[in-house]
Amino acid sequence: MEPTGWAGVYREGRGLYTLNARPGERVYGETLRTVDGREYRQWDPFRSKLAAFLVRGASEPGPWAGARSVLYLGGAHGTTVSHLSDLLPDARLFVVEKSPASFGTLLALARRRSNIYPLLDDAQLPERYSAEVGPVDFVYQDVAQRSQAAIFIENVRVALAPGGRAVLMLKVRSVSQRGSSVAIVREARRTLERASLSISEEISLSPFAREHVALAGHR
Ligand SMILES: C[S@@+](CC[C@H](N)C(=O)[O-])C[C@H]1O[C@@H](n2cnc3c(N)ncnc32)[C@H](O)[C@@H]1O
């Protein structure tokens, strides 16, 4: 098991791993590996777009590096959230999820991992949770909605601290079924830049997540 240049991420062979904050516990059926008395969880790029972003060439040390607080939009059952929880054991991870069914699983995960603060809410209405969340160092969004870019810039506006980092996992065909992917991504990128985000990375997540592009930047 070798450390990588991404903060807190390890590699063995072609696999990526994070150090398991809850040794002995799996979150989504992932492989566990113990090396020199430390347990690692395999981070599957087919299950987590953040892992796909790394495998497809994200810059080091990764947008979460050094974050003390994170706003995560679209937590679902907590697959990616659980790896961020491993990566940032001392940070506060505020996770917004609007589906009550998914939220139940997320809540159960948060009971076992004290750095996760789940919020059953709608990412389209950040004013409902911004006071609780406060300024954060990293905003991550994966909500697969038509208005993804607008939701993202509004959350960045209310919650991202100056100098903070932000990643939008853009699901191209949720924006529009018609038109070229290139044009849809270009328009989303322009929307982010008009909202004063400097976009430093634009990375296709294919073949791990089809028709998804990661747009990463900072304020
Ligand atoms: C693709 S899944 C997220 C997967 C998750 N990020 C992961 O990697 O483990 C998208 C999630 O976004 C949630 N979602 C969609 N629109 C939302 C909104 N407006 N506010 C909060 N959550 C939303 C959905 O309920 C769904 O659970």
Instruction: Read off the pTM.
Output: 0.98
Q: Are 151 and 124 in contact (CB under 8 A)?
A: yes
Instruction: Read off the pLDDT of residues 10-55 as tens digits, 9 standing for 90 and up.
Output: 999 999 999 999 999 999 999 999 999 999 999 999 999 999 999 9
What are the pocket residues of ligand 1 if the criterion is a CB atom closer than 6 Å to any ligand atom? 48-49, 73-74, 76, 79-80, 96-99, 102, 122-124, 142-145
CA of 94 to the centre of ligand 1 (A): 14
From the alpha carbon of 49, which atom of ligand 1 is closest? 8
d(CA 188, CA 170): 8
pLDDT at 61 over 90: yes
CA of 201 to the centre of ligand 1 (A): 22
Q: Mutation test of ligand 1: which of 98, 140, 148, 211 has the most ligand atoms closer than 8 Å to its C-beta?
A: 98
Instruction: Read off the pLDDT of residues 105-120 as tens digits, 9 standing for 90 and up.
Output: 999 999 999 999 999 9
Q: Which residues pair with 202 in a beta bridge?
A: 215
Closest to 215 (Cα-Cα) out of 194, 196, 188: 188
CA of 74 to the centre of ligand 1 (A): 3
CATH code of the domain occupying 44-218: 3.40.50.150
